[in-house]
Amino acid sequence: MIVTVDTNVIFSALYSCRGASHHILKLILDEKIKLALSPQVYFEYLEILTNKENLEKLDLSIEEVEDILDLIALLAKKYSIYFLLRPNLIDEDDNIIFECAFASSSEYLITGNVKDFKNAELKGFGFKIITPGDFYKLWESKNE
C-alpha cells in the first residue's frame, strides 16, 4: 500500500510517541506501508521540521531531524514530478502533497488537516484523504 503523508503527520509523529501519527511513522519505518516521496515533499518536510520553533517543540537537533528524514527517504518510494497539478488549495504546500499523492497513485493522503483539502477541486483523483486516526484504525482492522 502506497500512502502520501502530510508534513503535520510527520511533525506529530516526532512530537509524541502516542497517537496515530507515531504509529503511522512506525508502519513506514517497519516497511508495512510504503511512503510516496517527491523531492518537493522531502524539502517541505525538511523546511518545516528544521525551523527553530519546531526544533524546540520537538526537542531535536537539526542533525537528528536530518537523520530521521534520511531514513524516511531511504525507505520511501520516490517519485519525480514533471508537471504542476494545482487543485486550488489555499496553502501552496498542500498542493505539493496533493501532487505527490496523485503522481504516486497513493491509496491515501494522510493529513491532520482534512478540512484544508475539502473545498478544492479534488474529485476523481483516485486517493482518499484521511486523518491519521482514521487511517490507523482502518489499517489495524485490515492487518491485525
Q: What distance in Å separates the CA atoms of residue 102 and residue 125, rounded to the nearest whole number?
A: 6
Q: What distance in Å separates the CA atoms of residue 106 and residue 1, rounded to the nearest whole number?
A: 8
Q: What distance in Å separates the CA atoms of residue 19 and residue 39, rounded to the nearest whole number?
A: 27
SS3 56: helix
108 contacts 4 by C-beta, under 8 angstroms = yes
120 contacts 88 by C-beta, under 8 angstroms = yes
* Percentage of the residues of the chain whose pLDDT score is greater than 90: 71
- Boundaries of every domain in the chain: 2-143
Identify residue 100 by its one-letter amino acid code: C
Residues in Cβ contact with 64 at an 8 Å cutoff, skipping those fewer than 6 apart: none
Please determine, looking at this structure, whether the domain spanning 2-143 carries the CATH number 3.40.190.10. Answer: no
Q: Report CA Rg, the chain.
A: 14
Give residue-wise pLDDT tens across range 3-42. Answer: 999 999 999 999 999 999 999 999 999 999 999 999 999 9
Give residue 49's pLDDT: 97
Rounded mean pLDDT for each run of 10 residues along the chain, 144 residues in total: 96 95 97 96 97 97 97 96 69 83 92 76 73 96 86
Q: What distance in Å separates the CA atoms of residue 11 and residue 139, rounded to the nearest whole number?
A: 20
